[in-house]
Homo-oligomer: A and B are copies of this chain.
Amino acid sequence: MSMRRFSLNQWTTKRWSVAEAIDGCVRHGVEAIGLWRQDVARQGLEQSAKLVRDAGLRVSSLCRGGFLTSGSPESLDDNRRAIDEAAALEAACLVMVVGGLPGVVPDEPLGGPGQGVDRDLAGARERVAEALAVLAPYAAERGVRLALEPLHPMYCADRAVLSTLGQALDLAEPYPAGQVGVVVDTFHVWWDPQVFDQIARAGDRIASYQVCDFLHPLPANVLLGRGVMGDGVIDFAPLTEAVTAAGYTGDIEVEIFNADVWAADPDEVLARVKARFGELVAR
């Protein structure tokens, strides 16, 4: 596999603005980038779109839409805006992190028993399907592909009630593959006994392949348990082979949330993750 498919997810070098990350990509010979909405908003949407175009970069994904489990009109509106932004950036997909149980806020403690948490997991999952029925046509009209991302089950309560690739494929099934795809992120799926069957089943539904390692032990904030490839427990070769065998030919994003990585010099980080990508993913 070619190193040309390496894509820098912007939050791997979280200190960099959109402009700085684009410069970094150019400096390191990286052809693709995954952007985040918050950073795009700070840079300005039009300017971000111009910067990536001028640099000749592909936008492998825009992170992220989702958080649909409340069923609120506001969350649909926000997702329509995310779709518009993905269209403006000509992103290959809009990554959808569907949200956790209503009333559970990432990084915030729960109230007391019964206070404000909606524990109806099946209901939350149903609302995601309902929201998708509204958003998929809107995205299709704008040429944007939604990419449903199953998250590791340890994030089921607070970030994504979508917990396995199989479940994501069930959810995507009513829609054409070009309209609703799925994300295969090694961190989230490596443990799944069904992952190879489900990657094969996914076929051309794979809209994004993201790589990073699963650290042991997990840090105090489990969101930051994503490590540079080789620093954790994941065997990348069989997963990459499976995604390739399924027909995926797109960019491969390195997306690392990690306090030490974020504290390091972004140029050093980019050089390091490129090297590890070469050893463990592109080999």
Contact = CB atoms under 8 A, between A and B. Distances in A.
User: How many copies of the polypeptide does the oligomer hold?
Assistant: 2
A154 B222 contact: yes
A215 B108 CA distance: 11
A156 B191 contact: yes
Interface residues of A, number: 46
B233 A119 contact: yes
A153 B235 CA distance: 16
A230 B158 contact: no
Interface in A78-114: 101, 104, 106-110, 113-114
Contact of A220 (B106, B122, B220): B220
A214 B157 contact: yes
B216 A157 contact: yes
A110 B216 contact: yes
Interface stretch (A28-36, A160-168, A262-270): A160-168
A193 B166 contact: yes
Interface string A157-199: 1100001101100100000000000000000001111100000
Given A121-B190, A166-B194, 9 more contacts: A110-B233, A154-B218, A156-B191, A157-B191, A157-B233, A163-B193, A164-B192, A166-B193, A167-B193
